[in-house]
Structure 1
Amino acid sequence: MNVCYKCVGDEYLQAEIRSEGKALKCSFCEKRRKAFSIEELAERIQSVIEENYRPHQDEYGADSGEPVIHLIANLAQVDEAIAAALRAEISSGTYYDAFEGGYSDPFGREACYVERKPDTYDYQESWLFFRNEISQRSRYFSEHARRSLLEIFGDISSMRVWPNDPVIVKIGTGSEDRFLYRGRIAFSESDIELFLRTPVRELGPPPAKFAKQGRMNAGGISVFYGAREPDTCIAEVRAPVGSHVVLGRFEIIREIRLLDLDRLTNVYTDVSMFDPRFQQMSGRVSFFKRLVAEISRPVMPRDEESEYLVTQAVSEFLASSVEPSLDGIIFNSAQTDHEGRNIVLFNHACAVEPYELPPGTDVRVNLGWASDDDYDDSISIWEETPRSKPPRKAHQTPVPKPGGNAVNFAEILGRTHDRTIDEFGPASEPFLRLLIDEISIFRIRAVKYDRPQRRLSRHRHQQGDHDIIAEGEGIVYFAYGSNMDTPRLRFRTSGCKVIGVATLVGHELRFHKSSKDGSAKCDASWTGGPTDLVVGVLYNIPMSQKAALDKAEGLGQGYDEATITVMTADAKAVDAVTYLASDEAKDDKIKPYQWYKDFVERGAREHELPEAYIQRFIVDVDAVPDPDEKRESARREEVAKPWKL
């Protein structure tokens, strides 16, 4: 049987058939065109499915997900008859192994699939290297750090979200979104008076010499922090009860280009799964979600100096290294549970148009009045300008001033305005205008918190017992070897529950722990390298089964218990218990048994660890057969084999 390129709808696969196929008669349209044999096309489709999907069953063991025949039809964009023929061809090569192994044929008629999580390993590695470079090696932007960010953000200008909108949004002078809000806390009546007398200076971004470091700027670099909504702005300044917030409404008066971080988390790729670039591009898109969550997360006041180094460097890169250039960033507000939007305008785009008054204008602020019986807290501002000079009589020759026609600098310097553009550092045209008549003042009388309660438990143990990292009624355990295989761990500790995938930095997975059976077992070996990672699985283990876990892990038999800090998929640091090989138990000359390596690989695939990680640190490791066939059989029978490796 043959399938011609015209019977395949996927453009990449179609082009591949036209380029590499032979002139054959198509078995479906009966036309003679460039075609693949059914065997060639089936092999191509099988490899793509196994790379991007996995068989799936529900909790009762029934097949659940997208039926395999529909999956084939959708991937290659072929009709059902061709999809059925392709499934049958693939199944002819998988059925026997499945039957012998006692598991379902992954390409049987009833098989169902779900999509694997994209592999973010390469981008995660680049990001961790960048964080380490900025945080520990060089406060200033290094070439290594720049290359890491280029790999992540390189072609950001071409990225799109559905239906075809760019991640970089433009806001022009006629846009409905051209208004921004920026506020300041007034701790006293005199603060209010100061802000209203010179509103541009006080409500606009600070002069460079007064600019403190923030999430997106280093100290001494002035940027504009604002919000789309008034309530978001008030929440972001975190005003204490009893204070006031003076809120300015700003209008964008020049077109600006902003990177929308929310859109960045929804970037899609229209590259075919048959295209070799698909894995890399889908992994990058998935990584953006984690990256944006890390950039936008709340930072505790005591951690600002260290945590802001990373976001400041990202901001500096986006402001200077993206073409066409960016003027700022939009991101969700952590203070409003991501319901509001914050905007940062970079230094070159943060200048505010001066508010000029005639020379000699006297600005007075009336803050209201109060008596024993009544009060009025409304505020009024009076701008008293000097009288106009009488017009000069006709044909009157002006009296020369001292110095002839010299420029009167005293008059120029006496001109009244409350902001010069030069205060921002580099001279630039204003991008913003403060709407003087729309300044608002709010008294903060109460603050309401969104405060979900966390579960709390207390435990007691005698001194000398192992310190335990607890979650609820159990401990948090980091598995990185054969115990990643949930059925294997459940055979040993029946109450284990999966928490999620996590990463241990500064270690590397190695098969060099000498076992009593003469083979090698896994070890998360310490390297100290910032780009070395061990990817594993966090479990909750009941307290009552801690002794069973110790025994299964060989505590005191070449493994030592350790408390480590790992990073979860949502960029949270979690303390966990794990087991590391002791120095005297390490032997780089021995190899693992094949059955043990199979358990490690199966656990890694069960939890969808990065494919590049699986290949490099597990699949590519040499293994040997277990000379004791009964032992191998017993180990494999301990757990069911849900899918073929």
Structure 2
Amino acid sequence: MSQLVCTDCLTEGYLRDKAADNDAGECDYCARELPVMDMEELVELCDAAIEASFQPIQQPDSVIHHGYPPVGESLYDVLERILGANQTLLSDIHERLLDSWSYHGAEDDPYFVEETEASSELTMGWRKMEHSLQFESRLANPMVGNILAMVFDGIEDLRSKDNRSAIVEVGQGKQITSFQRGRVFQDDKTMEEALKHPEKHLGPVPRGKGAPGRMNAKGISVFYGATDDHTAIAEVRPPVGSMVVTARFDVIRPLRLLNLHDLASMRPHRELSYFDPVRKSLSERCAFLKALQRQLTMPVMPDWAESGYLITQAIADYLATHDQLNLDGILFPSVQVAQDASPGQNVILFHKASGVERVKAADEAEHVSLYEPDEDRWIYYPEIWEAEPKSDDEHSQYLLLVPPPEPSLRLARDCIVIHKIQGVRFSTEADPVRYVPWSKDRKYHGFR
């Protein structure tokens, strides 16, 4: 006869609630008369919970042959994590699962990592959406909205292992308070003209004139920046001999950004039971987000930019107009800088959050110079002289048909830097090509 486990011995909340309406019986672990669950059912539930949220991991040779500590969690540790029951009950479930798995050819002493397969429904839906965007409809495409809703709706409720959200706030008093933006110049004259009104020429281009980018369609004005100078310079891909002007833009109102880097570490909330079917669906969604994060941050070759940016542009459009998430932009890793060389990230601020203070013509600098005389020669000494403040009635009073977005950024005019590009460094992975001389006896190792 199978053992019985009462609701008091089932310390896991979801299972206790599940057994609360069962018939009363004598518990084989505490001998009390309470609602009980059959041990066979409990073992099956544990088996299903482990399969839904964990993957067995093969031990490396260093563990098998050299006695290094095992990688992952033992079955007993996993049971203790998901069940939290008394040791006697855990030992009995542990023994029964091992007997069952051994019968099916599993390892005698398995170890696990908390990981699951990506949702097949999301994976197939995503592929269909990519195909539809490329070959059917790019604007009024209902499939795009449906799939992106499945991926991103409610994402603010997911957390990383250290309880971080994928949505971060930036601005005064936050970890990120400003962004760097770079622009390439190839001659002094053009650069000097731009510095006369840096907000206008170093900030985002006016709407209607923007080129298509990773996360904006042509004509949509957005703010692309980075969290440090090194990343900002790399992203504009300057040729050797050119100059890059970087400028710091301070965030002057709170902004909410989705951090793509953190998508890979998202998981269901720690308080959600491993036995709750909702956790399985969330785990599959998190696994999909991990794969998606890698796809969204992969380099796109220039010849394939138009089609390669379709997905990221669609995602940006969807997130920019999502009422519940209320996002102002996206943080994402740079593909131009190796992550071990700089921890910097890129940012796109959607049009609604890309406004910069002091972009009116009256805010133009009084004087800009790049050189000053020093005895019998000229030395490089860039300067911007601020103009005398003008009263409000001297500003242009014409009314725009569509007003610009509320300013979110303020250029720090005393934090503009000119970088003379003297060399470019590449990070490469080299694969030599094997040359095979002709011989009638040579054999192919792959497909011809």
TM-score (norm 1): 0.61
Indicate conservation of the 8 Å contact 1:55/1:111, yes or no: no
Change (3 A) 1:346 1:25: same
Alignment of 1:588-607 (within 5 A): none
Alignment TM-score, normalising by the size of structure 2: 0.85
Shift of 1:384: 6.0
Report how far residue 370 of structure 1 moved: 7.7
Q: What is residue 236 of structure 1 aligned with on the other side?
A: 235
Aligned to 1:615: none
Call closer, same or farther: CA 1:362–1:336 in 2, change over 3 Å. Answer: closer
Q: Deviations over 1:146-205 (max 9, x none)?
A: 101111111122222243332211123333522111111111011111111111110110
8 Å CA contact 1:69, 1:80 repeated in 2:
no
Find 1:381's aligned residue among 381, 384, 388.
384
1:314 Cα shift? 0.6
Trace 1:153-552 onto structure 2 (pairs within 5 A): 153-269=152-268, 270=270, 271-338=272-339, 339-354=343-358, 363-368=366-371, 374-383=377-386, 412-413=395-396, 426-459=403-436, 543=444
- The answer (yes or no) to whether the contact 2:159–2:266 under 8 Å persists in 1 is yes
Pairwise CA distance, 1:31: 2.2
| SS of residue in 2 equivalent to 1:47 | helix
Paired position in structure 1 for 2:9: 7
**Structure 1 288/455 Cα, relative in aligned 2: closer, same or farther at 3 Å?**
farther
Residues 325 and 362 of structure 1, relative CA distance in 2, 3 Å threshold: closer
**SS of residue paired to 1:265:** helix
Conservation of the 8 A alpha-carbon contact between 2:180 and 2:246: yes
Residues 1:136 and 2:135 are matched in the alignment: yes
Segments of 5+ residues of structure 1 without an aligned counterpart are 389-407, 463-472, 474-541, 547-576, 579-645
CA distance in 2, matches of 1:57, 1:343: 39
Q: What is the letter of the counterpart of residue 351 of structure 2?
A: N
What letter corresponds to residue 281 of structure 2 in structure 1? Q
C-alpha distance in 1 between matches for 2:243 and 2:57: 57
Q: CA deviation at 1:286?
A: 1.3
Distance 1:370 1:240 in 2: 29
SS of corresponding position for 1:262: helix
Could you give the per-residue CA deviations for residues 242-285 of structure 1, whole angstroms, max 9, x where no partner exists? 11111111111111111111122211213322112222211111
In 2, Cα distance between the equivalents of 1:169 and 1:54?
A: 30
Distance apart, 1:442 and its partner CA: 1.2
Distance 1:75 1:365 in 2: 66
- Pick the aligned partner of 1:114 from 98, 112, 115: 112
SS of the residue corresponding to residue 85 of structure 1 reads: helix
1:179 aligned partner, one-letter code = S
The 8 Å contact of residues 267 and 285 in structure 1, kept in 2 or not, is answered as yes
Say if 1:81 and 1:438 are closer, same or farther in 2 by CA, change over 3 A.
Answer: same
Residues 251 and 434, structure 1, Cα contact 8 Å, conserved in 2: yes
Q: Is the 8 A contact 1:354 1:421 kept in 2?
A: no
- The answer to whether the 8 A contact 1:38-1:89 is kept is no
Q: Distance in 2 between matches of 1:325 and 1:135?
A: 28
Work out whether residues 421 and 430 of structure 1, in 8 Å CA contact, stay in contact via their aligned partners in 2: no
Contact 1:17/1:36 (CA < 8 Å) preserved in 2? yes
Structure ranking higher on relative contact order (CA contacts 8 Å, 6+ apart): 2
**Contact 1:358/1:385 (<8 A) preserved:** no
The question of whether the paired residues in 1 share the 8 Å contact of 2:52 and 2:116 is answered with no
Secondary structure class of the residue paired with 1:439 = strand
Summarize deviations over 1:189-235 as a string: whole Å, max 9, x none.
11111111111110110011221111110001000001111111111
Q: Which secondary structure state, in structure 2, belongs to the residue aligned with residue 206 of structure 1?
A: coil
**Cα separation, 2, equivalents of 1:55 and 1:336:** 35
TM-aligned CA distance change 1:460 to 1:305, over 3 Å = farther
Tell me if the contact between 2:170 and 2:255 (Cα under 8 Å) persists in the aligned partners.
yes
- Cα distance, 1:3–1:543 mapped onto 2, change above 3 Å: farther
Which of 61, 72, 76 is the equivalent residue of 2:79?
72
Q: Which sections of structure 2, spanning at least 5 residues, go unmatched?
A: none
Could you say if the C-alpha distance between residues 426 and 9 of structure 1 is closer, same or farther in structure 2, counting changes exceeding 3 Å?
farther
Q: How many residues align?
A: 433
